[in-house]
Amino acid sequence: MRNRRHFLSQFVLGSVGIGLTPLTCSKEKSVSNEPLVVTTWNHKETNKITLDALNKGENALDAIILGIRKVEADPNDMSVGYGGRPDRDGHVTLDACVMNHKGEAGSACFVRDIKHPISLAKAIMEKTPHVILSGKGARKFALENGFNETDLLTPQAKKAYEDWLKEGKYKPIINIENHDTVGMISMDKNQNISGGCSTSGMAYKIHGRVGDSPIIGAGLFVDNDVGAATATGVGEMVLKTLGSFLVVELMRNGKTPTEACEEAVNRIVKKYDCKDIQVGYVALSKSGEYGAYAVQPGFIYTVTKNGRNEVLQSKSYY
């Protein structure tokens, strides 16, 4: 783990050198009717898929799902979907949710054997009277509704798990171990906003653990009149402060996306010991303004619109 940590901290520190843009302030507004995609971490390819779909007239949620499915299918992304790191019992369990411009929401959590929990979350939103299905029930619903059963534990993730078992210490270092959870918020040509979030959660978590990512209001929140926010990092902190809902409410009360994310981070830092943990928020307002803020340095996010696809450095509390 030390090697990976070293490599990734070098990656973050060296990011400016390879073309990432350190951003001190993100107060740009998108041109009216210009599709826009904002995603946690470095997801340039993913955002491009979503932007292409938006340019073809796809609605924001379906465009987001197209992008996120790409991440979920990637075995090299060990924080999301197929290839995600397992829990401490060796099972890959996935969390995802979606929310659209009408305020409709769906969520699949603690689900096994389903490669695309983001699509499952949408199916739960559309086909059931509920918001969340979990565990065996979510899996059963998926299999009954045309989803295939897939073994999600790749040789790479199995090897990482076996290495971890040698010491079996649970100490997530979030910029390092879980740096690819995909939270995506987007505005389509009709200026409707939607969001989606997908993760395999904290590596080596206790079996049964559910994070913030599939919880509406915590890992993701959309209010089409105001904007949207999504979170990454130690989900327990985001859950205890209902972070994404808070960010949207702060924007409703006049804060810019960056200010709203900063205040949501401040709420965490004031109450909890945050020396060793990371939480990052990204937000998008109805006027097309976007921003981010994190507890620790090292949080990056991707902003994509026509003529621009950039990974930006978030400001942080520390």
Establish if 202 lies at the interface with ligand SD4 (CB under 6 A).
Answer: yes
The only residue of 113, 212, 223, 262 in contact with ligand SD4, by rule CB under 6 A:
212
- CA 3-9-15 angle, 5° bins: 135
Exactly one of 46, 181, 199, 256 is catalytic; name it. 181
Candidate list 201, 227, 257, 288; residue touching ligand SD4; CB under 6 A: 201
**181 assigned to active site:** yes
Exposure of 134 by Cβ count < 10 A (0-12 exposed, 13-18 middle, 19+ buried)?
A: middle
Q: What span, in angstroms and rounded, lies between the C-alpha atoms of 199 and 56?
A: 27
Chosen residue from 50, 119, 181, 230 binding ligand SD4 by CB under 6 A? 181
Q: Say which residue the tokens 């009954």 belong to.
A: 144
Between 67 and 211, name the residue whose CB sits nearer to ligand SD4: 211
* Torsional sign, CA 114, 142, 220, 278: negative
Least Å from the CB of residue 87 to ligand SD4: 11
* 235 scored as a contact of ligand SD4 (CB under 6 A): yes
Residue count of the chain, please give it. 318
Ramachandran region, residue 166 (left: φ > 0; alpha: ψ -120 to 50; beta: rest): alpha
Tell which positions 118-177 bind ligand SD4, by CB under 6 A: 174
20 vs 54, which CB is nearer to ligand SD4?
20
Select from 213, 230, 244, 304 the one that contacts ligand SD4 (CB under 6 A).
213
Total number of residues that touch ligand SD4 (CB under 6 A)? 14
Sheet holding 315-316, edge to edge: 220-223, 227-233, 279-285, 290-294, 315-316
233 touches ligand SD4 (CB under 6 A): yes
Residues with catalytic function? 181
By CB under 6 A, name the binding residues for ligand SD4: 79, 174, 178, 181, 199, 201-202, 211-213, 232-235
